[in-house]
Chains A and B, each alone.
Chain A
Amino acid sequence: MSSLIRSTAAELAAKIAGREVSAVEVAQAHLDRIAEVDGAVNAFLHVDTEGALAAAKKVDDDLAAGQAPASPLAGVPLALKDVFATEGVPTTCGSKILEGWVPPYDATVTRRLREAGVVILGKTNMDEFAMGSSTENSAYGPTRNPWDLDRIPGGSGGGSSASLAAFQAPLAIGTDTGGSIRQPGAVTGTVGVKPTYGGVSRYGLVAFSSSLDQGGPCARTVLDAALLHEVIGGHDPLDSTSINAPVPPVVAAAREGANGDLTGVKVGVVTQFSGDGYQAGVLRSFEAAVAQLKQLGAEIVEVSCPSFDYALPAYYLIAPSEASSNLARFDAMRYGLRVGDDSTRSAEEVMSLTREAGFGPEVKRRIMIGTYALSSGYYDAYYGSAQKVRTLITRDFEKAFASVDVLVSPTTPTTAFRIGERANDPIAMYKADLCTIPANLAGTPAMSVPSGLSDEDGLPVGLQIMAPALQEHRMYRVAAAYEAARGTVYQDVPELAVAR
Chain B
Amino acid sequence: MPSISRDEVAHLARLARLAVTDDELDLFAGQLDVILQSVATVGDIATADIPPTSHAVPLTNVFREDVVRPSLGQQQALAGAPAAEDGRFRVPRILGEEA
Contact = CB atoms under 8 A, between A and B. Distances in A.
Interface residues of B, number: 57
Interface in A301-315: 307, 310, 313-314
A197 B56 contact: yes
Contacts of B1: none
Nearest to A356: B19
Nearest to B20: A356
Given A197-B56, A388-B50, A335 B42 contact: no
The secondary-structure label for the interface of chain B is loop
A387 B52 contact: yes
A423 interface: no
A211 B55 contact: yes
B80 A371 contact: no
B12 A371 contact: yes
Contacts of A237: 64-65
Interface in A8-64: none
A365 B46 CA distance: 25
A333 to B, nearest CB: 5
A368 B12 contact: yes
Contacts of B14: 352
A371 B11 CA distance: 10
B53 A385 contact: no
B79 to A, nearest CB: 6
A346 B51 contact: no
Interface string B29-54: 00110111011111111110011111
Contacts of B39: 313-314, 316-317, 369, 382, 386
A351 B91 CA distance: 10
Interface in B35-92: 35-36, 38-47, 50-57, 59, 62, 64-65, 72, 76-77, 79-83, 89, 91-92
A310 B41 contact: yes
A385 B34 CA distance: 18
B28 to A, nearest CB: 6
Contact of A333 (B15, B27, B82): B82
Contact of A427 (B16, B38, B43, B62): B38
A198 to B, nearest CB: 5
B86 to A, nearest CB: 16
Contact of A346 (B16, B56, B57, B94): B94
A352 B50 CA distance: 39
Interface string A225-252: 0000000000001001101000000000
Contacts of B59: 240-241
A443 B56 contact: yes
Contacts of A197: 56-57
- The dominant DSSP class at the A interface is helix
Interface in A365-396: 365, 367-369, 371-372, 381-382, 384-392, 394
A461 interface: no
Contacts of B77: 104
Given A102-B79, A386-B42, A356 B54 contact: no
A324 B44 CA distance: 25
A345 B24 CA distance: 23
Contact of A385 (B8, B46, B81, B93): B46
Interface stretch (A182-190, A263-271, A336-344): A336-344
Contacts of A355: 16-19
A401 interface: no
A47 B18 CA distance: 32
A79 to B, nearest CB: 24
Contacts of A381: 40, 43
Interface in A344-358: 345-353, 355-356
B90 to A, nearest CB: 9
Between B32, B35, B45, the greatest number of chain A beta carbons within 10 A of the residue's beta carbon is seen for B35
A426 B40 CA distance: 16
A369 to B, nearest CB: 6
From B14, B15, B17, name the one whose CB has the most chain A CB atoms within 10 angstroms.
B17
Contact of B56 (A343, A372, A442): A442
Contacts of A102: 79-80
B45 A368 contact: no
B2 to A, nearest CB: 13
Given A101-B80, A237-B64, A427-B34, A372 B96 contact: no
Given A372-B12, A391-B53, 14 more contacts: A103-B80, A197-B56, A198-B57, A241-B59, A314-B39, A335-B82, A347-B91, A352-B18, A364-B24, A382-B40, A385-B42, A388-B51, A442-B56, A444-B56
30 contacts: A102-B80, A104-B77, A197-B57, A198-B56, A241-B55, A241-B59, A310-B45, A313-B39, A313-B41, A316-B38, A316-B39, A317-B42, A328-B17, A338-B83, A346-B96, A350-B92, A353-B19, A361-B24, A364-B13, A365-B31, A369-B32, A382-B40, A385-B46, A386-B39, A387-B54, A388-B51, A388-B52, A389-B45, A441-B56, A442-B56
Instruction: Please name the 3 residue pairs, one residue from A and one from B, whose CB atoms are nearest each other, closest first.
Output: A443-B56, A387-B52, A338-B82
Interface of B: 4, 8-9, 12-21, 24, 27-28, 31-32, 34-36, 38-47, 50-57, 59, 62, 64-65, 72, 76-77, 79-83, 89, 91-94, 96
